[in-house]
Structure 1
Amino acid sequence: MSASGPNNSAPSAVVFAYHNVGVRLLKVLIDAGVQIRLVVTHADNPNETIWFGSVAQVAAEHGLPCITPEAADTPELLAQLQALAPDYLFSFYYRYMLPQAVLEVPRCGAYNLHGSLLPRYRGRAPVNWAVVRGEREIGATLHVMNAKPDHGAIVDQQAVPILSNDTAREVFDKVTLAAELVLARCLPGLLAGTAVLQTQQHIAGQYFGRRTPEDGRIPATATAWQTHNRVRGVAPPDYPGAFFEADGHRVQIDRTLWAGAPGPAEPDAGTLQADSSLALLVQDGRLLLRGADGVLLPVLAARLDGSALDAARFQSLYPGQALAPRD
C-alpha cells in the first residue's frame, strides 16, 4: 500500500522493476491508483556503473514494501507472492527470468515492458544491439509474460526514432519515455479488461543475448558506418566503449561523428576496398578512422591505453602513420 493509505477497491499488483524504466513505470502505476502490494527489485552491483534511477528509493518514498531477493525462483518468494494474491504482476526491466509458477500467481495476468518493437530485438540489451546494427527506429512494448522471454501477446507499443549520431544512452532515454507513454495509454483498458491483445508474429534471428565488453571490439573489416554504430552503441560513460588493438596498444574510440545519409548495415562486397582495412590516422590536423570502405570518419574522443588521444598526440607518436586493428 502507499503512504496515503490503501484503496481496497483498487486493482492490486506486485511489481518487479529496475533501472529508469522501472522507476518511471512504477510511478505510472502509483499515479493511476493501483494498489502496490510489493515491489521486487535488485540491489545495485558495486562493480557496475549505476547511471540510472533507483526503484528502491521510489518505493521508500511512497511507503511501499520492497525486497531485493538474490533469485526469482525460490519457494520463499513464491509463497510470499501467493499470500499477497495480487490481481496483476508487472515486470519493468527486472533482470531475472520469472518462473511459470510466479507468472501464474496474479489473477488477471502478468505483463512485461520490453525496450524494443517486438517481435524485433527480443532478449537482452535491445537498445545497444539496435544501435550497433544501425537501426533507425526502436521503441517500447508491453506484452503478456509467458515461459519464453519477450514472447507473449502484445498489449501496446510505441516507436521512437534513432538518429544517426544518437548514443545508446540517448536512445535509452527515448525508450524510457516511450515505455511511460505505452503504460499510461493502455493501463485503463488493461485494468478494465477491455484491452485488445495482438499475437506476436515471431521473426527468426531476432533474439539477442547479453551484451559483454568484448562486443565493443571493432573488426578490421568494418565500414565507417558500421564502426560509427558500434562506437555509439557502447559509448562511455554508461558502457565500456568500442576498441581495437594495434601495435601492442589498446585504442578506444569513445565518440565519432557521422555526416550525411546513413550507410547500409551490410554493404555490397564491391564497396569494400581490397587493400584497405579499418585504420586510425591524422589528416589535415584531424583524427580520423578510415573504414574498410575507404570512408573517413571524424573521431571526437579517443584513448590510447586509457589516456586521452587527440590528433596532436597521435601525430607525435605515429608521425605519418596509421594504426590498424590486429585480428
Structure 2
Amino acid sequence: MRIYIVSTLNTYYDTIDIVRQNLEISGFIGLTDRHDSDAVSGYMNYAPYCRQHGITHIPVDNYSMRDEATKELLSRERIDLLLVVGWQRLIPDWLIEHSTYGAIGVHGSSRGITKGRGRSPQNWALILGHEQFQLSIFKIDPGIDSGSVIDTRTFSYDDHDDINTSYYKVAWLTGEMLVDCLSSGKIQRGEVVPQDDTPEYLPKRSPKHGAIDWRRSSREIFNFIRAQTRPYPGAFTSVSGIKCRIWAARPFALELRSNQPPGTVLKIYPNGDMIVQTGGGLLLVDDYSTESDDLNLETGLVFESADFREQMLEIAEAHQEKYPDLPLSRDILSLIC
C-alpha cells in the first residue's frame, strides 16, 4: 500500500515517526518553504526529515490544495491512502477521490468527535477544566470532522498537563491507532461506524481572547493559562497599556484575610514569582514575560481584568455569524448563560 502523509505542523511529528517506524511511507505532502512559522502557527518543514528517511517530499504552495497547479502536481502520484495529520484546511474532494482508500483524519474533544467538531478542541478542553479527551481517527468526507469513525481512544488530564502535554498525548495515540488499524486491515476493509448523533461545534479563538479576567476563580484562571501557553501567544494581562504574558501559574492554597481587588499583586518573591489575588483565592504566577522593561512589577500593583463573558459572547457571535448552520457546543453556551 502506498501511504502518503499530509502534514505541516510540528505537533504531529511523533505521529508521523510512529507510522514510519512501523509502516512504509511512500510520500509526504507539505507546504513550500515560504510558508514559515509566521504564516502557519506551529509550522514545520518536514523536507529534512523526509531526506533522512528516504521519503519523497512533495511541497505545495497552496494550503487549500484547490488550485490547478497543485491538482496537476499531486494527480501524478499513485496514492492508495492519505493520512492527514496536522493540515488545518479541508482536504479537497478531488484528492480524496484520487486516493484508492481515501483519506484518514484525526479529531476529538472532551465530549468526543461528534460533540466537539471544529476549532481548538484541546485548548477548549483545558479551558473548560475537563478531565478527559476522546480522540478518533475517521474517514475524511466533504464535511467538517463528519466522516465515519474508525477507532477511538480516551486519555486523561491532570493538574500537570498543559496544551503541550495534551499535544504529546494526542500525537502518540494517533500514531498507535493508525498503525494498529492499518496492520490489522481494519482500514483496508472499510470497518467504520457512522456518526449518527446531532453534532456540536467548537468555535475559533484568536490571540486577543487570551486576556485574563482576574475576577474568575484561581482554578478557572489556571485552566485558562495552561490552555494557551507556549507555543501559543499566551494568556495575558495589562498594566497601563503594557502587556504581561503569563505562561504558567497554579492555585495557591492559603487562607488569607485580604480585601484587595482581583488582579492585585500581593507578593513578589526574590526569584520573581508573584502571588496574585483572584476572584476566588490566590494564584502563584511563576513564568511570565513583559512587553516592555518599563513595566515595574511590585506589590500592590493591580492588573487589569478582561470580561470573560464578553469574550465568550464575541467568540460565539463570530461563529454564529460565519456558520449559522453549525450549532455551538453546549459547553461554550454554558459559559455565556
Distance change in 2, residues 1:221/1:83 (3 Å): same
- Selected match of 1:150 from 145, 150, 170: 145
1:189-243 alpha-carbon deviations (Å, 9 max, x no partner): 346734531222455543332x42112111354322221111111113x221111
Aligned residues: 293
Q: TM-score under structure 2 normalisation?
A: 0.75
Contact 1:28 1:183 in 2 (8 A): no
Instruction: Indicate how the Cα distance of structure 1 residues 164 and 321 shifts in structure 2: closer, same or farther if over 3 A, else same.
Output: same
Instruction: Indicate how the Cα distance of structure 1 residues 191 and 28 shifts in structure 2: closer, same or farther if over 3 A, else same.
Output: farther
Check if 1:231 corresponds to 2:206.
no
Give the CA deviation at 1:122: 2.2
- Answer whether contact 2:150 2:187 (CA < 8 A) is retained: no
- Please give the residue correspondences for 1:68-217 in structure 2 after superposition, counting only pairs within 5 Å: 68-71=59-62, 72-114=65-107, 116=109, 117-190=112-185, 193-194=188-189, 196-202=191-197, 204-209=199-204, 211-217=205-211
Give the secondary structure class of the aligned counterpart of 1:147.
coil
Structure 2: tracts of 5 or more residues without a match: 254-258, 308-337
Corresponding residue for residue 14 of structure 2: 24
> Residue type matched to 2:87 in 1?
Y
1:302 equivalent to 2:302? Answer no
Partners of 1:223 and 1:278 within 8 A in 2 = no
1:30: Cα distance to partner? 3.5
CA distance in 2, matches of 1:158, 1:53: 26
SS of structure 2 residue aligned to 1:104? helix
Q: Is the 8 A contact 1:114 1:140 kept in 2?
A: yes
Change in Cα spacing, 1:308 to 1:161, as seen in structure 2 (3 Å) is: farther
Gaps (5+ residues) in structure 1? 1-10, 261-274
Whole-Å separation in 1 of the counterparts to 2:252 and 2:150: 38
SS at match of 2:288: strand
Q: 1:291 to 1:199 in 2, by over 3 A?
A: farther
Structure 1 length-normalised TM: 0.77
SS of the residue aligned with 2:213?
Answer: coil
Q: 1:49 to 1:154 in 2, by over 3 A?
A: closer
Q: Is the 8 A contact 2:3 2:83 kept in 1?
A: yes
| Residue deviations 1:63-101 (CA, integer Å, cap 9, x gap) | 222122122112232233333232212211122321112
Is the Cα–Cα contact under 8 Å of residues 246 and 325 in structure 1 kept in the other structure?
no
* SS of equivalent residue, structure 2 residue 237: strand
The one-letter amino acid of 1:108's match is Y
CA distance in 2, matches of 1:173, 1:89: 22
Q: Would the aligned equivalents of 1:137 and 1:159 in 2 still touch at CA under 8 Å?
A: yes
Deviations 1:168-209 (A, max 9, x none): 112111111111121122112346734531222455543332
RMSD: 3.1
* CA deviation vs aligned residue, 1:14-47 (integer Å, no higher than 9, x gap): 32123245433333443444451x3111235142
Q: CA deviation at 1:51?
A: 6.8
**Alignment partner, residue 252 of structure 1:** 245
Q: What is the rounded CA distance, in whole Å, between the counterparts of 2:293 and 2:7 in structure 1?
A: 37
